[in-house]
Amino acid sequence: MDDPMNLQPSTSDDSNTSFPEQEPYAPPLKKKTSEMGHMEAELRLTLEEIARLQNALAESNMKNTALQASIESQPSRIEGAQILKPVLQELKQPIHTIQGYIDLLSNESVGILGTFQKRFVERISNSVNHLDEILKNLELETGEIDDENRIYSKDFSLTSVVEETLMFYTELLRTKMIILKVEFEKDDIDITGDQEIIERMLNIVYTNCLTAVQEEGIVSLVLKRLQGKKPGQVLISVQSCDHDSPKSKPLPVILEEFRDLEIKLEGFGSPLKDLVKAKTLVEQMHGKMEIFSIPASGSLIRVRLPVTS
């Protein structure tokens, strides 16, 4: 009879003992379902985005086809010009803005430029001017030969434009301790015209006077309506003097004699070719610019603009 308390291990051979085979681990069904749902959602969003792009592409193709058919079916050149006119006007506005900032930079109104910076600004200026010429040629080809149609006109306060453009030169006024004398009308002067062109012209005129005047010199700025003029006109006058009472009378400068010249006359801060550019801008708005030299003192520029360009 065996002893029930005998706890010694059995001496039988256990090498042939078989164990149940383990099955591979499977993640919970809930986790698999969550991942599948996420993948389906991503796939659905991707398909929706593809469908949206396809619809946008189809719509764009339809618009292009319709536009091409419309252009081809135009019975006359006048109707073609009517299509291009708003497009040309929308393109001219940012070009005029860029040209204004280029004038500021190239005239070094907001800081001195290095040699490399000047070349970079010149390249930008040449490219923008070339684009502007292309737009002008398109206007001519479409029959837009009237100067009034080449002006991006809107109603604005000329008083505000004159003041805001002058703000670019605050640092120069402070550094040179220039005395600024201002004579404005009591009420704002509103005109209709191309604001960007006026800002470009003012940048050249301000640069000419403020960079040429000596330290503690005097710059006089006048903005007023001209009485008795029909149609209505306004006057912008900017004069620079190195002292309070110039002894010489202003002498008129004939700019046509100095076209495309880089030289600066005595008392002038801008090259003559820039003053020619300013005069051209004024004439585009059916205005008039007069330039005077004040010997041994400074310069005077008068700009007359119609209330409605």
Asked if 144 and 266 sit in the same domain, the reply is no
R_g (Cα) of the chain, nearest Å: 38
pLDDT attached to residue 147: 46
Span of 30-39, 159-168, 206-215 with lowest mean pLDDT: 30-39
Asked if 189 and 266 sit in the same domain, the reply is yes
DSSP 256: G
Give the residue among 252, 224, 237 at the shortest CA–CA distance from 302.
237
Amino acid (1-letter code) at residue 290: E
Query: What are the tokens at 125?
Result: 């200026």
Q: Band the pLDDT of 87: cuts 50, 70, 90.
A: confident
pLDDT attached to residue 283: 93
Rounded Cα–Cα distance for residues 295 and 268 (Å): 11
Asked if 217 and 244 sit in the same domain, the reply is yes
Lookup result for tokens 């330290």: 215
The Cβ of residue 179 has, within 10 Å, a number of other Cβ atoms equal to 14
Rounded Cα–Cα distance for residues 219 and 180 (Å): 5
Asked if 224 and 274 sit in the same domain, the reply is yes
pLDDT of 15 > 50? The answer is no
pLDDT attached to residue 8: 47
Handedness of CA 104, 277, 219, 306 (dihedral sign): negative
For the chain, what is the domain count? 2
Q: Which of 128, 148, 168 is the last residue of a domain?
A: 148
Asked if 131 and 97 sit in the same domain, the reply is yes
Amino acid (1-letter code) at residue 227: Q
pLDDT of 107 > 70? The answer is no
Q: Band the pLDDT of 145: cuts 50, 70, 90.
A: very low
pLDDT attached to residue 158: 94
Asked if 208 and 296 sit in the same domain, the reply is yes
The Cβ of residue 268 has, within 10 Å, a number of other Cβ atoms equal to 22
58-76 tens-digit pLDDT? 666 676 677 666 655 555 5
Lookup result for tokens 């946008």: 56
**Model pTM?**
0.61
Rounded Cα–Cα distance for residues 143 and 133 (Å): 15
User: Greater confidence, 4 or 307?
Assistant: 307
Query: What are the tokens at 1?
Result: 């009879």
In this structure, are residues 254 and 262 in contact, taking their beta carbons and an 8 Å threshold? no
pLDDT of 37 > 90? The answer is no
pLDDT (mean) for 242-265 = 77
Asked if 277 and 262 sit in the same domain, the reply is yes
The Cβ of residue 214 has, within 10 Å, a number of other Cβ atoms equal to 14
Determine, yes or no, domain membership for 136: yes
pLDDT attached to residue 64: 63
Asked if 208 and 189 sit in the same domain, the reply is yes
pLDDT of 148 > 80? The answer is no
Rounded Cα–Cα distance for residues 251 and 292 (Å): 5
Determine, yes or no, domain membership for 242: yes
The Cβ of residue 162 has, within 10 Å, a number of other Cβ atoms equal to 21
The residue segments making up the domain with residue 91 are 74-148
DSSP 145: -
DSSP 257: G
Percent of the chain predicted with pLDDT > 90? 23
Rounded Cα–Cα distance for residues 130 and 135 (Å): 9
Determine, yes or no, domain membership for 201: yes
